[in-house]
């Protein structure tokens, strides 16, 4: 037993001791009990602090007007009102003095006019000219009484009060995703069985986390319900062709959840077609469509590869040519041009984000803009963080951060608007079929929990990257 004795950290005596895993110190039984009590006391303090903090949060929720910044706004309001009231009283006094002087002058003129009228009445010698003179004088005096010529009010270009602003910082939430994905569709090799995909392109995830996939080389749209082992063909699947029930290299798909319809960029048939159950309707014809988007107002946007433009149509009014909302100025690399626009995304402000494929950049066109701004890439073809290589799928989040499927670099990269380079979100680990790799990522989508879905085209699968909360 003597050999098992060590020095107690507390009493510094050789005793049988016990090690604390937290601090790695040794204590005799008595002092170990004291040490545990000290830890219990510290835990109780933390618990008390937590409860106080929780109470503060509850009070803040119940009484948001008690926010500390609200007091600053209230103080600004009080001081500004006091300053305005002081200035207003000062101006009233000045105006009263000036008005009294003006009234006295007008009264003199009025008395003189009265004397002239009395003189005409007494002498009884007057004609039209005299009467016109008297009438004119009376009108002029009346005008001066209403609008004194010696006083006026002009706006001061210098602000009377110091204005304040509420600045809501758009600081990035810096969301992170698990680097190893879960395969949620396909992943069973190249093929046309319902558990397989062949070169998936655009994807759409609805509010129930069902995934709609443009199954490019299988000429069909498939829906994979949450946790399903197989997909279900909901459009096409009747061989390659141009009949109404056929598709020809469908490249993108969106679901109009309000009208319960599926809208497809039927690239090989140069048309945008809508499927509702087993019924089909061609919405837009003769377009080299590559991508679709729909804004919150129900407007449909279509990118055209050959015309190097994006057009917008109002829902239900597809019998016209639409309106050009981006590009349309020929092929090129100027800010008002594209060179092979691929995927598009439209935000809540109707700004259009366009992956400008051969220019290796993503452009943002604000509503009614005549040219776009570069929000990602634009520094030539390459693998550096300030470069893209054949960008395709593009989406943004509620913080205005842009996510791009960087096809040839096998990665998804995030750009904050105004930054000179992006950051790799997932992928970027070389070309391959491991759960942290891609082989030609194309389509992108978020679900309502901000999990990220990527169409891994050459691996014939859809990868889901779960957000780290």
Q: What is the pTM of this model?
A: 0.65
Q: Where are the domains of the chain?
A: 5-55, 88-146, 176-468
Find how far residue 191's CA is from the centre of its chain. 38
From 83-92, 171-180, 222-231, 326-335, the region with the lowest mean pLDDT: 171-180
CA distances from 288 to 30, 32, 438 (A): 83, 77, 27
Query: If you write DSSP's letter for every residue of 295-322 in order, what string do you get?
Result: -TT--EEEEETTTTEEEEE-TT--SS--
Does 176-468 carry CATH code 3.30.2320.50?
no
CA dihedral 391, 297, 323, 267 (to 10 degrees): 50
The dihedrals phi and psi of 251, each to the nearest 5 degrees, come to: -110, -20
**Nearest in space to 462 (alpha carbons), one of 388, 385, 390, 393:** 393
Interval 342-398: pLDDT, tens: 999 999 889 999 999 999 999 999 999 999 999 999 999 999 999 999 999 999 987
Q: Is 228 helix (H, G, I), strand (E, B) or coil?
A: coil
The pLDDT of residue 138: 80
Question: CB of 172 within 8 A of CB of 218?
Answer: no
Q: Is 459 helix (H, G, I), strand (E, B) or coil?
A: helix
DSSP H helices, 296-397, are: none
From 5-19, 195-209, 233-247, 336-350, the region with the lowest mean pLDDT: 5-19
Find how far residue 318's CA is from the centre of its chain. 28
**Rounded to whole angstroms, how far apart are CA atoms 134 and 370?**
64
**Rounded to whole angstroms, how far apart are CA atoms 391 and 331?**
17
Interval 223-251: pLDDT, tens: 999 999 999 999 999 999 999 999 999 99
């Amino acid at each position: 037993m003597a050999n098992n004795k060590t020095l107690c950290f507390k009493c510094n005596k050789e005793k049988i001791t016990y090690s604390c895993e937290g601090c790695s110190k040794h204590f005799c039984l008595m002092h170990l009990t004291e040490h545990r009590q000290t830890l219990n006391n510290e835990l109780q303090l933390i618990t008390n602090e937590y409860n106080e903090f929780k109470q503060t949060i509850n009070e803040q929720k119940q009484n948001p007007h008690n926010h500390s910044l609200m007091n600053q706004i209230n103080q600004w309001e009080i001081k500004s009102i006091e300053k305005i009231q002081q200035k207003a009283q000062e101006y009233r006094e000045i105006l009263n003095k000036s008005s009294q002087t003006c009234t006295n002058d007008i009264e003199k003129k009025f008395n003189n006019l009265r004397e002239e009228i009395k003189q005409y009445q007494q002498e009884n010698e007057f004609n039209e000219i005299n009467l016109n003179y008297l009438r004119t004088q009376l009108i002029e005096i009346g005008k001066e009484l209403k609008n004194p010529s010696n006083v006026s009010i002009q706006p001061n270009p210098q602000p009377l009060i110091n204005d304040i602003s509420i600045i809501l910082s758009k600081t990035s939430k810096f969301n992170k995703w698990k680097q190893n994905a879960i395969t949620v569709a396909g992943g069973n090799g190249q093929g046309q069985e319902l558990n397989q995909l062949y070169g998936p392109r655009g994807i759409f995830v609805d509010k129930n986390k069902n995934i709609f996939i443009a199954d490019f080389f299988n000429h069909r749209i498939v829906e994979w319900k949450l946790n399903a082992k197989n997909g279900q063909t909901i459009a096409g699947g009747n061989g390659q062709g141009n009949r109404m029930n056929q598709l020809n290299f469908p490249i993108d798909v969106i679901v109009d959840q309000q009208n319960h319809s599926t809208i497809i960029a039927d690239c090989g048939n140069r048309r945008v077609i809508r499927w509702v159950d087993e019924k089909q309707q061609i919405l837009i014809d003769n377009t080299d469509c590559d991508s679709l988007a729909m804004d919150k107002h129900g407007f449909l946007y279509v990118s055209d590869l050959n015309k190097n433009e994006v057009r917008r149509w109002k829902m239900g009014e597809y019998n016209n040519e639409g309106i050009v909302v981006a590009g349309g100025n020929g092929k090129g690399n100027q800010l008002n041009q594209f060179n092979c626009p691929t995927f598009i995304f439209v935000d809540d402000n109707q700004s259009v984000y366009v992956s400008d494929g051969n220019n290796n950049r993503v452009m943002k066109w604000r509503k009614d803009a005549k040219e776009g701004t570069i929000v990602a890439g634009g520094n030539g073809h390459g693998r550096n963080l300030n470069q893209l290589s054949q960008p395709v799928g593009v989406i943004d989040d509620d913080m205005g951060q842009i996510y791009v499927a960087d096809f040839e670099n096998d990665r998804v990269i995030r750009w904050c608007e105004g930054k000179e380079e992006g950051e790799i979100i997932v992928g970027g680990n070389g070309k391959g079929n491991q759960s942290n790799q891609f082989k030609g990522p194309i389509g992108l989508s978020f679900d309502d929990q901000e999990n990220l879905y990527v169409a891994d085209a050459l691996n014939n699968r859809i990868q889901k990257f779960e957000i780290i909360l």
